[in-house]
Amino acid sequence: MARSFILGNGGLTVGLDEKGLVHDFYYPYVGQENLTTARSQPHMVGVWVDGAFSWIGGDGWQSSLRLEKAANISRIVHTNDALGIHVSLTDFVDCSHDVFGRKVTVKNLLDSERNVRLFFHQVFRISHGGRADTVMYVPDDHYLLDYKGRCTLGIYAETADGKPFDQYACGGAGVEGKEGTFRDAEDGELSMSAVEHGGVDSTLRVKFTLAARSEEVVHYTLAAADSQHKVNKLLNLYRSTGFEERLEATREYWSTWLEQASVRMTAVPEDYRDAVTSSLMIIKAHTDKHGGIIASCDSSIYNYGRDYYSYVWPRDGAWVMWPFIKLGFTDEPKKFFRFCQSILHEDGYLLHKYQPDRSIGSTWHPLVHGRTKELAIQEDETAIVLWLLGEYVDYSKDTQFASEMYSSFVKPAADFMTDFIDDETSLPHPSYDLWEEKFLSTLYTTSSVYAALLTASRMAHERGEQIDADRWTVAAERIQSKADAYFVNDVAIKGFSFAHGSVENDNVLDVSSLYGAWRWGYVDQGNLKKTLARVESDLLNQSPSGGSPRYVDDAYFRSDPAYKGNPWFVTTLWLSQLYSESGRLGDAKKLVDWSVDKALESGVLSEQIHPETGQPVGVTPLIWSHAELINAILILDQRP
């Protein structure tokens, strides 16, 4: 199930599904240590009215979901005509404190008085094995405490006028045949069981009466900290009037944060400003305060894949920071560069992926091929971060930061890329391609290395480091002189491997080959016309849903073998950018409109879509998709 909203503050991160229910709860890093049982069950909200009970989002409920225009605050509306009840949820993660807040407005749609009981269920799995957690009722301060070690969660709810929850239940969940305390709620009453350990969940109840056509507001607060004392302080901050103050403070924070882009946003076509704004906020919610940028906080992929996307890929992070840089943001890019600086291998390269605490992420790339030892890297990840640093300096004019990064990142990375060239081919040594599937010398990676070396050379020249500048320029020119190796009959191939004196081409038509060579100027644009024509005839709009797969016969999560792969937002929006900068504004706009149209109601973009139904496939959201949407929109009105 997709995540319609990702709410966060750079530490606490909450993912809400297509029903607006909590499915992911990351703390204390963005995307690391998911504390929910997201693979099996969300946190539910139930409504009991005059003896009838229903879980929100189930049968009989109609829902709409949207993001506020100028704040990463979700607005979810649920209506149940049979119950005569309208429930509106306003959800946020506090901008300054690790608190998830949910403002619930319950409206009576009938002309008679109603007795209402609102139930909040939460099922955390703090322990990795789903055991050894504790949940208990704390009578002194009247809240539920869920903890394991130094991870402590406090749960509280009250009406807007300060009437606290009146019942609770702490129980077992997912163990010994127990489903959870949510079952206890379905008769309108809770057991008042005060403690449980092992695999646990909890439910609390807020009770009130609604006059005819009236409404009641309930504040739900979920605080996270490393001690009970700190959780208690956060809950006290939110009790009664503090909740509304923190909601408004968070709304003001997002408005102020977006203001950084206000000058450059004036160049964005008005029809697309909401899409740019929501994309910026979705990306920001995936950005850890320590600098790591998570590819996706949607854990649902764990139900049908081997791993999740909650990692920092240097490549994804760099592409994501590019629109931030162009729009005038500086804090997030600088933190990302420092993150990359801290994880750079002493030999000058970045590994496959990392966790936001800077530890190494999982990989499927071996260190040997046959009997030959090889680095398990994707060289483009090192190259693109260096190239992006040059972009940051160009836009921000922050030469002091460039100077700080030179010795610790620019020089070791550029030296590595200069040495990581095969003598036989004069091209970058094989590494894994950007799609993480093939070990080759690829056109995309070669283009990125070429651009990175020229960037490094320019930065060296500006510092007066002429020996470095000349060395890296010579390396770049050497690479460019061999560009013909990547073309067969004037059409770009994906790449090739070179072993035992023979070259084996990979002739797959890949959008990344076209885009990389064009974006970084590795090949003259006129020499890419036949490749573009092939992409248009063989990949673009070749399924009922439109869009473009990554390459011919892309098997990753392939939905229907009748088509050459699922359409991807990234590759489709790359083509839009190419069209814009080639003067084909109408074609570019069509692909942007296609992307906006395929978003969820909340504005979220997935990784892929089904070629026939257009429904999301893969993680949702994928922040790289949102970054390329912004990039494509920013250049819609440009001419070559």
Rounded Cα gap, residues 511 and 215, in angstroms: 53
Query: Is residue 272 a contact partner of residue 622, using CB atoms and an 8 Å limit?
Result: no
* Coil vs helix vs strand at 112: coil
pLDDT over 90 percentage in the chain: 90
Predicted local confidence at residue 130, as pLDDT: 73
Q: How far is CA 216 from CA 61, 115, 161, 246, in A?
A: 19, 12, 10, 19
Reported CATH class of domain 307-529: mainly alpha
Distance CA 277, CA 226 (A): 33
The SS3 assignment for 628 reads: helix
DSSP SS3 for 451: helix
pLDDT 10s digits, 515-573: 999 999 999 989 999 999 999 999 999 999 999 999 999 999 999 999 999 999 999 99
pLDDT above 90 for 370 = no
Architecture of domain 45-256: Distorted Sandwich (2.70)
Q: Which H or E run contains 510? A: none
Q: Please give the model's pTM, rounded to 2 decimal places.
A: 0.96
CA 173 vs CA 19, 29, 153: distances in Å:
22, 25, 17
Buried b / exposed e over 321-341, threshold 16 CB at 10 Å, is: bbbbbbbebeebbbbbbbbbb
Residue 639 confidence class, pLDDT cut points 50, 70, 90: very low
What average pLDDT does range 575-589 have in this prediction?
A: 96
Write the pLDDT tens digit of every residue in 499-519. Answer: 767 889 999 999 999 999 999
Average pLDDT over residues 256-262: 97
Q: What is the mean pLDDT of residues 232-251?
A: 94
CB 48 within 8 A of CB 41: no
Q: Are 621 and 604 in contact (CB under 8 A)?
A: yes
166 touches 205 (CB < 8 A): yes
| Structural domain spans, the chain | 45-256, 264-289+539-640, 307-529
pLDDT surpasses 60 at 638: no
pLDDT at 503: 85
Strands 151-159 and 372-373: unpaired
Report pLDDT for 640.
Answer: 43
DSSP 247-264: HHHHHHHHHHHHHTTHHH
Angle of helix 529-538 relative to helix 511-519, nearest 10 degrees? 150
For the segment 604-636, what is each residue's pLDDT rounded down to a tens digit?
Answer: 999 999 999 999 999 999 999 999 999 999 999
DSSP string, 133-196: EEEEEETTTTEEEEEETTEEEEEEEEETTS-B--EEEEEE-SBTTB--THHHHTTS------EE
Q: How confident is the model at residue 38 (pLDDT cuts 50, 70, 90)?
A: low
**Predicted local distance difference test score (pLDDT) of residue 344:** 98
pLDDT band at 177, cuts 50/70/90? Answer: confident
Query: What mean pLDDT is reported for the chain?
Result: 95
